[in-house]
Amino acid sequence: MAQESDIDHVVIAGMAVEAPGGIEEPRALWDALVASRELIGSFPRDRGWDVDDLLSVHRHEGWSRVGDAGGFLTTAAEFDRAVFGLGKRDAVAADPQQRVMLRTVWRALENAGINPGDLAGEDAGVFLGASPMEYGPRGSVVHEYSGHRIIGFSTFGMSGRVSHSLGLIGPSVNVDSACASSLTAIHLAAAAVRAGECDWAVAGAVSVMGSPGAFYEFAKLNALSDDGHCRSYADNASGTLWGEGAGVVVLEPESRARRLGHRIYGRILASHHNHNGAGRPILVPRTDAQERVIRKTIATAGIDPATVGMIEGHGTATRAGDPVEIRALQNTYGEAGSPALLGSVKANTGHAQAAAGMLGLTKLLLSGLHGQIPPTLYADTPTTRVDWDRTGLRLAAELTEWKPVDGYRYGAISSFGAAGANAHAIIAMPACEENGDV
């Protein structure tokens, strides 16, 4: 068995984020989390949505009320096409998710100390999560942008657009495992770097809604928040609240990061993903499946689960999802008498769907960097659907000092997809690394 000193860990050497409320950098997100700011706004009126119809959809029998609220990116339409070498028609035909992802990757590279304009021929991988969001007219409609849409309107165009723009020649992979897309992309990217399939990689995910379809779907399922708040793990949670966002991290072997003088936000000790399997409706989450992926990740990481001080959960604020997730965490980390604090960035930003895991990972990395665990909104009324007294697991109700264990802060993060995908990762963040600010 290899000794710890012999392992060349895959590390996170750079990051970038976009979140609701005009947030375009990690520092701004951290400030919002520490201040317990809710980054929710009204529906955008510049996307051609029939907002009046959406707000009155409860007129149909069996549909729940939709509030005028969500976590929307305020700069989703902004894009400097010249920086990325896109012609005018290509830029307009490109799904906003592609445009947001291009600039987020650029910022993550700069954050890592890498010049994005000098990467042509680099054996670097691109692993990105995204979901179709119904941008633009149907492909069968003759339009002035016909011919440009084959890439611009496609999910598969995401990673290819980034690789092409930067001149990267490593693997270029798009991931769609619904709300587990972010952590799945991280998992695949880290595995590729470990296996030598590429020298380093960028991984991340994005969500920009081209239509309000997700609100209609969850209103029909009666799983949408009825008061415009995403009350993760709270007793008065009424459903999820959709949002948008983007996040990217730069992954590379630790030896490379240290040789090049890159900052190290954290080591990816382990990550895994699985599926619920058959037996229940596809939308219904399962404690046993989530527990399996968590136990496997803990085993691969080779750590005592009691050392994990922060768990960034999925926390959809649905009556079915939150209790299932908490029970899985109690059966794994809670069994070790863990003092871990549980929270979810969704309470601040809404549920950013494919990008939800990236917003959560950014929060986790920032918490490790600053040595503090920010409060989760609405944690003062934890759900009564689980027995909190049988474990040491608690909701993060206030800003709390995060003490390191043997020089590291160990954190975990979970994401689960609507079609049954589950993903989990464990990150070790150095407490003494002189990373400076972000």
Q: For residue 425, which of 282, 326, 313 has the smallest C-alpha distance?
A: 313
H-type helices in 41-95, by residue range?
51-55, 88-93
Evaluate whether 303 touches 273 at the Cβ level (below 8 Å). Answer: no
Cβ neighbours of residue 404 closer than 8 Å, sequence gap 6 or more: 371, 431
Helix (H) or strand (E) holding 124: strand 124-129
- Could you tell me whether strands 308-312 and 266-275 are parallel, antiparallel, or unpaired per DSSP bridges? unpaired
pLDDT of residue 158: 85
pLDDT of residue 365: 98
Cβ neighbours of residue 208 closer than 8 Å, sequence gap 6 or more: 73, 76, 95, 96, 97, 100, 133, 244, 246
Residue type, 302: G
Run means of pLDDT, 10 residues per run, the chain, 438 residues = 70 98 97 98 94 94 94 89 78 84 97 97 97 62 47 68 95 96 98 98 96 92 93 94 98 98 97 94 92 98 96 94 94 82 97 97 98 95 90 92 96 95 98 63
pLDDT of residue 279: 86
Q: Counting Cβ atoms within 10 Å, is residue 234 exposed (0-12), middle (13-18) or buried (19+)?
A: buried
Q: For residue 196, which of 264, 267, 123, 254 has the smallest C-alpha distance?
A: 123
Coil, helix or strand for 182?
helix
Question: What residues are labeled active site?
Answer: 179, 314, 351
Helix (H) or strand (E) holding 308: strand 308-312
Dihedral in degrees, nearest 10, Cα atoms 299, 303, 306, 312: -70
Laid out side by side, the sheet with 266-275 consists of: 172-175, 124-129, 200-207, 245-253, 10-18, 266-275, 421-430, 408-416, 308-312, 341-343, 394-395
pLDDT of residue 43: 96
| Structure-token pair, residue 410 | 């160990």
Evaluate whether 344 touches 233 at the Cβ level (below 8 Å). Answer: yes
Q: What is the distance of C-alpha 175 from the center of its chain?
A: 13
Evaluate whether 423 touches 354 at the Cβ level (below 8 Å). Answer: no
Facing residues of 205 across strands?
A: 129, 247
List phi, psi (to 5°) of 405. -120, 115
pLDDT of residue 264: 97
pLDDT of residue 2: 45
Evaluate whether 323 touches 385 at the Cβ level (below 8 Å). Answer: yes
Q: Counting Cβ atoms within 10 Å, is residue 352 exposed (0-12), middle (13-18) or buried (19+)?
A: buried
Structural Rg of the chain based on CA atoms: 21
Evaluate whether 127 touches 173 at the Cβ level (below 8 Å). Answer: yes
CA distance 331 to 324: 11
pLDDT of residue 384: 92
In Å, how far are 5, 6, 187, 298, 407 from 2, measured between CA atoms?
A: 8, 6, 21, 18, 21
List phi, psi (to 5°) of 420. 105, 5
| DSSP single-letter state for residue 4 | G
pLDDT of residue 306: 93
CA distance 239 to 157: 32
**How many Cα atoms are found within 13 Å in the side-chain-facing hemisphere of 389?**
1
Cβ neighbours of residue 38 closer than 8 Å, sequence gap 6 or more: 229, 347, 348, 377
